[in-house]
Amino acid sequence: MRLLGLTDWRTGRAVDLVLPQTADSTLIDETGAMSAEVDQIDASGLVLAPALVDPHVHLRDPGQTDKEDMVTGTAAAAAGGYGLILLMPNTQPAMDGRARMADGRTIIDYLESYEQDHGLSLPVDYDLCVAATLDRAGRQASNPDDWSSHLPGHGYDHPVVAISDDGSAVTDQTLEAVAANAREFDLPILDHCEHHEHGQVNLGAVSRRLGLEGIPASTETAIINRDIELAERTGTRVHLQHVSTAGGFEAVRRAKTRGLPVTCETAPHYLALCDEDLLRCGSMAKMNPPLRSRADQQAALEAVADGTVDMIATDHAPHTSAEKELGLKDAPNGIIGLETAYAVCNQVLVESGLVSHDRLIELMSLAPAELMGMRRLLPEDLPSHTANKVNKAGHLQLEADRHSDANLPPVDLVILDPEAKWEVDPSRFHSKSRNTPFAGAGLAGRVMATIKDGRLVFSRLPTSRVITRERIRAWTD
């Protein structure tokens, strides 16, 4: 199968991508365009880039599969252009390396063998993040003896690459022990950088209007400043999750000027929304940390533009409709984001002129891959490969055959249409859940196809792009 006339995301050069035929059973296909009969597709105007990487994902499996499971969650990730995701440890029981399921296996073992046990091949790769404390209870650091054998280099397909008590900040009483574990095994701490005991939404005019208890910005900045001090004092690699406040971004900015081992992420919703959107979206926009003020939203945009923010993560958090219908006071925190992240960020950051599209790919692919210890195959690596050639149309031709060393090495790629306009319809999501504040929103930019290990696993390429036999002659090598 040939995809003709793609644009390389960084060089702008025309690229023809030759993919092996994909069995229908392994392809998530929204249009029917990529059936076995399709040989060539006109991909001119579309962008070829490294597949996206998400360092902050909750798939609720095991323990809450009524909200999401490995099959629906990875399908959503593929539809969102992701080739690799990092699974957070707030499973039930928690992924601390010790807690076991009814059959005696640990959660790490369950997720490592998931595809083999279920006789399937998931469309997206995933790595694991181990709990910082036993049962994520914040009382005792998890024991490396329970999880260190699953680190990279030990032969596992889904290794442990980070430590976090995601959903809760690492507690003061366990911070030193958790940091010592992180340093010993050269893992970053991914800290949920905020802590509060009460409150539903951001403290301010909106919380007062809604009559709800507000959450002050200090709940975030206190943890960020504590973690920065830890990084400075001990050299521990600290990654701050979902930063949302102006004060938080400024603290990270200062830490970076001092050369400290501190990185941070923000999420698409903190770039596109503020607490005023709660008046329109209700509990569909309830999350933790909460949507902040319009000034904080602007600070988030500026932090992305000036490089303070290292990467963008979705914090994909599925919940059932019944739970979200409980209202702002009682509904659980969290929204889904895998299937809208690229479009939201493209519209808010690239269409507005804040960053280039190249920079967006770095934020959503290269930087999170580096955090997870993965080297991505960059487009500039490709032309030197022996299987690549320039065809008569003047395009670089890349051949992706996962079964042959003579062709393009296994690689995860995404095909994007930065100009596509579409309206978010949650009923069409691949995720099992529908809790998004972007329902009905018109967005610019869409994932058109996702390629895992050189194999097409998702496509929404329209049938109008299928090249008929009459047109093939114009593209012949």
284, 335 Cβ separation under 8 angstroms? yes
Strands 82-87 and 125-131: parallel
> Whole-angstrom Cα distance, residue 86 to residue 56?
6
> Whole-angstrom Cα distance, residue 336 to residue 355?
24
Altogether, the residues listed in the chain come to a count of 477
- Write out the two tokens for 425: 């319809």
Residue in 181, 179, 195, 194 with CA at minimum distance from that of residue 261: 179
- Write out the two tokens for 353: 């002129």
> Whole-angstrom Cα distance, residue 42 to residue 467?
6
391, exposed or middle or buried, with CB in 10 Å at 0-12, 13-18, 19+? middle
Residue in 220, 215, 136, 218 with CA at minimum distance from that of residue 178: 136
Catalytic (active-site) positions = 315
> Whole-angstrom Cα distance, residue 203 to residue 212?
9
> Whole-angstrom Cα distance, residue 398 to residue 332?
46
DSSP labels for 382-407? GGGSTT-EE-TTS-EEEEB-TT-TTS
Contacts of 244 (CB under 8 A, 6+ apart): 194, 220, 266, 270, 289, 290, 291, 292, 296, 300
